[in-house]
Amino acid sequence: MHASIRFALGGAAALAIGGGAALAQSQPASQPTDGHGLAHPAIWPKYHYPVPRDPAVEAKIADLLKRMTLAEKVGQLVQADLGSITPADMKKYHLGSILVGGNSGPNGNDFSPAPDWLKTADEFYLASIDKSDGGVGIPEIWGIDAVHGHANIIGATVFPQNIGLGAMRDPALIEKIGAATAQEVRVTGQEWTFAPTVTVPQDYRWGRAYEGYSSDPKLVASYVGAMVRGLQGPPDKPNLLARDKILASTKHFLADGGTKNGVDQGDAQISEKELRDIHGLPYGPAIENGVATVMVSFSSWQGRKMTGNKSLITGVLKDQMGFGGFTVSDWNAHGQVEGCTNDSCPQALMAGIDMYMAPDSWKPIYEDLLKRARAGTIPLSRIDEAVSDILRVKFRLGVFTAGKPSDRLLSGDWKILGSPEHRAIARQAVRESLVLLKNRGVLPLKPGGRLLVAGEGADDVSRAAGGWTISWQGTGLTNAMFPGSTTLWAGLKQAVTAAGGSAELSPDGSFTKKPDAAIVIFGEKPYAEFQGDRATLALDADLTGPYATMRKLKAQGIPVVAVMITGRPLEVNPALNTADAFVVAWLPGSEGGGLADVLIGDKAGKPRFDFRGKLPAAWPKTPSMADGALFAFGYGLSYKSPRTAWKPLPEIADNARDARVYFAKGVPAASWSLVLGNIDRADEKRITTVPADAIGGRAHVTATDAAVQEGARRVEVNDGGAALAVSSHDPINVSRETNGDVLVLFTVKVDKAPASAAVALRCDGSACGSRVLVSLPANGKYVRYGVPLKCFAAKGADMTKVTAPFILETTGPADYSLSEVRLGSDAEQVLPCG
């Protein structure tokens, strides 16, 4: 019965979410209904922005404004991504800032060693202050997503993601984390972090929920001031660069965590009161602690894109709440504003955006703004105002007098990057963030015995670190990219052996000598932004394998402790039922030793540290939060909690899954794989990371942009035949859909048409029915084709045992990009059965 509930939810919601996210990205929002999304600033609170206005600085700004050309002023308003700009461009255009997106790095290498970052910082700084063209040479500043430590950089301390910090309830430690992060950023020469995220997620199906401290606005607000102070220092102390500080940015203004169904970049369909009291609350302490910048959200409120919403950016944030720094837009978010494109959007400036994050669109944006400024269609007063706000922050930072990045305090002091002191702070945070949901007396573990550590991800830092770690998605990483870190396994082993016991790592739970206890580590894999959006609060089906391991160990009389790595509360009832103790570790980062500190007791079996983590958001009873909470916000046991009876929870079959989406936004859905082989299935290869070569080098697979970034997989085949499949080991039953008029939908862009193409299915691992010949002309645009499931059934396929609902077979050279495969009826073009 539960499986069917889940099926219904998964199916319908998955389609809604997939469609919504794609819409938000690919099309500008339609014009909102009159009056919708317009705020009433007078009902919002006023705050005091405590950064003093120094008359000497104001005079310098006035003087600069007099001397700067219009082109130089416009340059200040634009920020480019490192991957799309050179120092020569900087010398010519004098942009206000560069950023490094999640997938960029010096020399086009996301994995560049730390010294390269500092060297690149010097190059851009020196280019920006170059006056050989007769300009004034305003120093640029470099923004980076140091969102859980300086985690873009190899060797840095990786702190727990914000959801884990929310569990700690420890603002004092938050300030220390901010201070440590600022120091590490300073080592590699950047001046500005796009943190803290002060989102207040209301729907944990959102792929960014882990970036928020809590669903509770008061808890978030209690952290914000501390984090801003940790990063920037006290608001009345100028010259951050003379100290060990950097600029902070609270994001994403406003209600990024309030979108309907938790859709990333979606629409918050809420009242102005909710907007203010839930999502607006954390901006109070940010402003009162002098946060230097605010990043405006991709999302909409009542159908109106935030980035173009003057009533909120200017009316509420600046005029009413008194924010006195500058605003920056998000990654090409201006292109989503009603009436805008990535290349042109004066609306954003007029709404109150001071700096455009125009990663690859910086040149057209710059040229468009300049043209309009020269034509007088953007008032000069607005440009001067935005430039002044940016310059004021730069003066406060001290960048005019600091010299080049490598000459500044802490620069190149590599021992600060991942220093023992910073790692100790992170380890304390790990310890404090652990939430104990169940303990039938098995914890703390006595260290003298034999411990088995099973499950996935026990010895994998990237799994513990989540998205926004070295790479944007936090994927494609090895432990070698985290020098000096401690995996959860390594920490456990160290604690146990130090006390004279023994520990064995065995992912599948097999062992030679029976252990005294087992820890089974399981949970989510890294993701970022919309790639983490889910249809339900169920753990992805392909991640539930460790449930069986837990059962197997229990059946052998071994006490089992489940440790969950996760970015959000999810329905994991089978693990909660089976394990004797259940610990949520969230996304702990590089200092896994904090887990052992709490789980492994002293020699006498007494705790060395107690649990103090409390749930930062409610834990669901079923994959639908509508069914209520199993554990309320604030729940969390400690070693002092009285033991209570465990009432078994309803379980959902492990193999239940979202039945209708197999491949979305360029990645296989949970439990599905993208496989490339010859037409006869020889030489098959699972495409897990890209770029990848397959079928003896005849085919090359890369990531390419579709409706969303990296939203498709591009397949280039040299010659011969190739078969691209979305497949799984476990068959699905689509007989019901076959009887209805459901189609296999696949969205593909063909750049070079194959000599011939066919869509096929696989049932129980082998070809079934016969293929449907299709014609896929090369027209260079994404088309959602549909093949009726009936076509395959009519040709003898067993639709109850489908292991690959989509195989695209081609002959001859071909070049195509696949973005989505799912079931549905909304094809742009239905292909005949042939």
Per the CB < 8 A criterion, the answer to whether 752 and 822 are in contact is no
Among 529, 571, 591, 658, the one annotated catalytic: 529
**Measured from the CB atom, is 294 or 807 closer to ligand BGC?**
294
**CB 414, min distance to ligand BGC, A:** 25
**Measured from the CB atom, is 99 or 563 closer to ligand BGC?**
99
Rounded Cα distance, 564 and 540, in Å:
13
**Measured from the CB atom, is 357 or 429 closer to ligand BGC?**
357
Helices in 233-359 by DSSP H: which ranges?
A: 272-274, 283-288, 310, 346-351
Instruction: Please give the DSSP secondary-structure letter assigned to residue 637.
Output: B
Rounded Cα distance, 232 and 254, in Å:
22
**Measured from the CB atom, is 358 or 430 closer to ligand BGC?**
358
**Measured from the CB atom, is 455 or 567 closer to ligand BGC?**
567
Rounded Cα distance, 562 and 525, in Å:
16
Rounded Cα distance, 419 and 438, in Å:
35
**Measured from the CB atom, is 102 or 601 closer to ligand BGC?**
102
Interface with ligand BGC by CB under 6 A: which residues? Answer: 99, 101-103, 145, 194, 251, 330-331, 472, 529, 709
**CB 499, min distance to ligand BGC, A:** 43
**CB 256, min distance to ligand BGC, A:** 8
**CB 161, min distance to ligand BGC, A:** 13
**Measured from the CB atom, is 331 or 609 closer to ligand BGC?**
331
Rounded Cα distance, 307 and 291, in Å:
19
Nearest residue to ligand BGC, using CB?
Answer: 101
**CB 650, min distance to ligand BGC, A:** 37
The question of whether 236 is a catalytic residue gets the answer no
Bridge partners of 717, per DSSP, are 699, 814
The DSSP secondary structure of 447-510, one letter per residue, reads TTSEEEEEESSTT-HHHHH-SSBSBSSS-S--GGGSTT-B-HHHHHHHHHHHTT-EEEE-TT--
What is the arrangement of strands in the sheet containing 249-253, beginning at the earlier edge strand? 249-253, 293-296, 326-328
Rounded Cα distance, 710 and 15, in Å:
20
**CB 144, min distance to ligand BGC, A:** 8
**CB 105, min distance to ligand BGC, A:** 10
**Residues, the chain:** 834
Structure tokens at 228: 């801003």
**Measured from the CB atom, is 341 or 800 closer to ligand BGC?**
341
**CB 4, min distance to ligand BGC, A:** 36
Secondary structure of residue 556 in the 3-state scheme: coil
Among 184, 330, 533, 571, the one annotated catalytic: 330
Identify the H or E element spanning 117.
Answer: helix 114-128
Bridge partners of 249, per DSSP, are 293
Rounded Cα distance, 699 and 721, in Å:
10
Return phi, psi of residue 685, to 5°. Answer: -135, 135
**Measured from the CB atom, is 101 or 491 closer to ligand BGC?**
101
Bridging pattern class, strands 326-328 and 293-296: parallel
Rounded Cα distance, 386 and 328, in Å:
10
The question of whether 529 is a catalytic residue gets the answer yes
**CB 99, min distance to ligand BGC, A:** 6
CA quadruple 224, 227, 229, 231: dihedral sign: negative
Q: How far is CA 24 from CA 306, 535, 645, 660, 782, in A?
A: 12, 16, 47, 21, 17
Residue 102 CB contacts under 8 Å (≥ 6 apart), including other chains:
145, 152, 467, 468, 471, 472, 473, 528
Helices 171-187 + 217-232 axis angle, to 10: 40
Active site residues: 330, 529
